[in-house]
Amino acid sequence: MSKQQKINSELLAQPYLKWLLVIIAIFLIVFLLIVIFALNYDRLYRYQFFPGVKINGQSLKGQSHLQAMENWQQKIDDFVKNGLKYKFNDQTITIFPTLPATDPDVSYQLINFNLTETIDRAYLLGRAGDRLSNFQEQWQALLFSRNLSLDFDFHRTEFLAILKSNLDKYTTQKREAHPRVSEDYQIDILPESTGTNFDYDKIMVATLARIYQLSSQPIELQLIQDKPEIKKSEVGEDIIKEMEERLASSTLTLVYEKNKWPVYKNTFKDWLAFKKEEGQVKLALNQTAVVKYLEENIKDKVYRPTLDAKFEITDGRVEEFQASQDGWELDLEGTLAKLQQDFIIDAQAEVELTVKKSKAKISTGSLNDLGIVELLGSGHSNFQGSPQNRRHNIRIGADSLNGVLIKPGETFSLIEALGDINKAAGYLPELVIKGDKTIPEYGGGLCQIGTTVFRAALATGLPIDERRNHSYRVSYYEPAGKDATIYDPWPDFKFSNDTQRHILIQYRIQGDDIYFDFWGTSDGRVAEQTDSVIYNIKSPGGTIYIETEDLAPGEKRCTESAHAGADAYFDYKVTYPDGEIMEERFTSHYIPWPAKCLIGKDPSKAATSTEEVILE
């Protein structure tokens, strides 16, 4: 390269070098500004939600955790007070998310909002990870927003059943083509007919949208045609012939082990029905008729309860008072399938019943291996003022838990331990308002059990896995904040036995006081809990009147008194022998609960209420 060319090359390179240095400087300045901004951005929103974080599409920007909790709790309380509304023609039906009853223990939530968990998740966006991931989440929320849905539990099946029971009066039932067998066993095929119904799938989609929006805007309902699937013209001669073959036998025999139950033709003739499968009409079981027969005639005869070994403390010694027993019960679903295959399809005259078997969790064994040597903790509550039915149910529920053993590492479920809650188990009913009627239901008094067991688990220093407070304050469970509600199948109350030995549950009733005592072997842990802090007390508001045709015109029956709303919390601390500490704060929100009264409807006068109010 010539000298001149070298000089020209150097001259060309110098501006490039300058621009490179400028770009690097700009990059470093921008990077430094981003770092400074990020550090200050984090500090700026240290106690507030980051911009762009939303719940159900509503911004939380500028709000503290406490402010967001209060704002959203008020929205939920208003929604619970106003309920979900359904409008058909000129009638409005309102379903409230909490079911009122004469006993608060059978009042439960159809919809339960998990507000604390949702607010916590939203608040932790941009805070829960390392510095880089937090920065990324903060900027993603700022630039694109992050929307979380308000989490809730929904008794969908129960809710839908209540809604259907109140809309059925506006519908006409469709009828499938079906067989009718006369007393002399002549077969007739009755024709199908079209009915009218509501599109419940569409209604439930709209219902979930209203819950998401916390909106009480009425959902407009329309009747639609409900067309039958099975038509008389589709029933062929081959199906008639199959029916005749089944009716040729005088007896169908149901068998379990050495037991036999003859079902005569005048009964099983009504078990014959049709179903549509892959576009073809086929002979099938009338499942409703079969289940009714099995429940009335056979179910109890093949039932044997599963019993865990139970123990009691007598004069300081552990003694067995109930031996373990494996159990079994009729499997209705399996038996229906067996009858369909063996009787309907294969034309067999003898069918083996299907039975579910279950083993006892706690078997009779050496008492010395249990480690039941001392009292670990006791829970107490008072049920003064309880009516007779409630007192009876408290003792029935307590009896079912008395002597129960909880294995090391086992999670105890109160719903599971109580077993069936019905008339057969010895419980007495309480009245529940469903629509404009009062319906008897079982379960009154059992939240006294739940609350007292909760307090015993706390006193023992055990981890609480699942607990929910009542919807509203109840005098039986004061102080507020230390109660636990249960309702089958949820909410449940659960705790874990994280000790190395078994825990034995015992109860005692002294006057109006009930105690649950937990016995076992202490590992030296120390449990502490603060007194409840009760605040944010709110007036329950005026009485709600619900018109009913079950009472004489103008007659009034008040099923529930008013309860002021409030919030409460207490702190729970367990110090383990190795010095490890577990701390938890239990929070409770109680909605303002107005008194509710049924009032007899006078057909000659204008309605007392502007809507048909259904308190659920």
Residue appearing with tokens 């019905």: 422
Domain boundary among 331, 358, 385: 358
Sign of CA dihedral 48, 51, 54, 60: positive
pTM value is 0.79
Residues 403 and 346 in one domain: no
Tens digits of residue pLDDT in 128-178? 999 889 988 998 999 999 999 999 999 999 899 989 988 999 999 999 999
Look at residue 332 and tell me if it is in a domain: yes
Q: What helix, strand, coil percent values describe the chain, rounded to 5?
A: 35, 30, 35
Question: What band does 318 get if pLDDT is binned at 50, 70 and 90?
Answer: confident
Look at residue 577 and tell me if it is in a domain: yes
Tens digits of residue pLDDT in 238-282? 999 999 999 999 999 999 999 999 999 999 999 999 999 999 999
What pLDDT, on a 0 to 100 scale, did the predictor assign at position 35?
66
Give, in order, the Cα–Cα distances in Å from 403 to each of 326, 425, 427, 502. Answer: 17, 18, 20, 12
Spatial distance between the Cα atoms of 71 and 208, rounded to a whole number of angstroms: 21
Residues 349 and 382 in one domain: no
| Mean of all residue pLDDT scores within the chain | 89
Lowest mean pLDDT among 379-393, 427-441, 515-529: 427-441
Give the CATH number of the domain where residue 245 resides: 3.10.20.800
- The percentage of residues in the chain with a pLDDT greater than 90, rounded to a whole number, is 67
Spatial distance between the Cα atoms of 561 and 540, rounded to a whole number of angstroms: 10
Task: Output b/e per residue, 565-581; b: 16+ Cβ within 10 A.
Answer: bbbbbbebebbeeeeee
Domain boundary among 325, 358, 391: 358
Sign of CA dihedral 82, 86, 92, 95: negative
| Coil, strand or helix at 423 | coil
Tens digits of residue pLDDT in 15-38? 666 777 778 777 777 777 666 666
Range of the domain at 427: 370-540+563-590
Residues 399 and 337 in one domain: no
Residues 184 and 332 in one domain: yes
Tens digits of residue pLDDT in 37-81? 666 778 889 899 999 999 999 999 989 999 999 999 999 999 988
What pLDDT, on a 0 to 100 scale, did the predictor assign at position 595?
82
Q: What is the mean pLDDT of residues 276-302?
A: 95
Q: What is the mean pLDDT of residues 217-223?
A: 96
Residue type, 442: Y
Residues 401 and 315 in one domain: no
Task: Judge whether residue 492 has pLDDT over 70.
Answer: yes
Q: Where are the beta strands (DSSP E) in 303-429?
A: 310-314, 317-322, 327-330, 350-352, 355-358, 374-382, 405-406, 411-413
Domain boundary among 336, 358, 380: 358
| Coil, strand or helix at 174 | coil
Spatial distance between the Cα atoms of 115 and 117, rounded to a whole number of angstroms: 6
Look at residue 409 and tell me if it is in a domain: yes
What pLDDT, on a 0 to 100 scale, did the predictor assign at position 615?
36
Tens digits of residue pLDDT in 4-13? 555 555 545 5
| Coil, strand or helix at 145 | coil
Beta-carbon contacts of 380 under 8 Å, excluding residues fewer than 6 positions away, are: 452, 455, 513, 514, 515
Q: What angle do CA 460, 462, 468 make, to 5 degrees?
A: 110
Residues 397 and 536 in one domain: yes
What pLDDT, on a 0 to 100 scale, did the predictor assign at position 9?
58
For the chain, the straight-line distance linking the first and the last C-alpha, in angstroms and rounded, comes to 95
Look at residue 109 and tell me if it is in a domain: no
Question: What band does 560 get if pLDDT is binned at 50, 70 and 90?
Answer: confident
Report residue 167 as tokens: 């809309």
User: Between 546 and 288, where is the model more confident?
Assistant: 288
Q: What is the mean pLDDT of residues 566-575?
A: 97
Of 26, 153, 162, the C-alpha closest to 86 is 162
Residue appearing with tokens 């005592």: 517
Spatial distance between the Cα atoms of 195 and 225, rounded to a whole number of angstroms: 6
> Judging by DSSP bridges, how do beta strands 374-382 and 513-520 pair with one another?
antiparallel
Beta-carbon contacts of 39 under 8 Å, excluding residues fewer than 6 positions away, are: none
Residues 437 and 528 in one domain: yes
Q: What is the mean pLDDT of residues 417-440?
A: 78
φ, ψ (nearest 5 deg) of residue 226: -115, 95
Look at residue 398 and tell me if it is in a domain: yes
Q: What is the mean pLDDT of residues 545-559?
A: 78
Q: Where are the beta strands (DSSP E) in 200-335?
A: 219-220, 223-226, 251-256, 259-264, 272-277, 280-285, 310-314, 317-322, 327-330
- The 10 Å Cβ neighbour count of residue 4 is 8
Question: What band does 616 get if pLDDT is binned at 50, 70 and 90?
Answer: very low
Task: Judge whether residue 224 has pLDDT over 50.
Answer: yes
What pLDDT, on a 0 to 100 scale, did the predictor assign at position 614?
37
What pLDDT, on a 0 to 100 scale, did the predictor assign at position 399?
95
Q: What angle do CA 219, 224, 229 make, to 5 degrees?
A: 135
What pLDDT, on a 0 to 100 scale, did the predictor assign at position 82?
87
Look at residue 608 and tell me if it is in a domain: no
Look at residue 41 and tell me if it is in a domain: no
Residues 375 and 347 in one domain: no
Residues 381 and 503 in one domain: yes
For the chain, the domain total comes to: 2
Report residue 245 as tokens: 């073959």
- The 10 Å Cβ neighbour count of residue 195 is 16
Residue type, 572: Y
Question: What band does 607 get if pLDDT is binned at 50, 70 and 90?
Answer: very low
| Coil, strand or helix at 66 | helix
Residues 382 and 314 in one domain: no
Residues 352 and 382 in one domain: no
| Coil, strand or helix at 357 | strand
Question: What band does 200 get if pLDDT is binned at 50, 70 and 90?
Answer: very high
φ, ψ (nearest 5 deg) of residue 296: -80, -30
Look at residue 71 and tell me if it is in a domain: no
Residues 380 and 350 in one domain: no
Q: What is the mean pLDDT of residues 315-342?
A: 88
Give, in order, the Cα–Cα distances in Å from 58 to each of 51, 52, 68, 127. Answer: 11, 9, 11, 20
Spatial distance between the Cα atoms of 384 and 476, rounded to a whole number of angstroms: 7
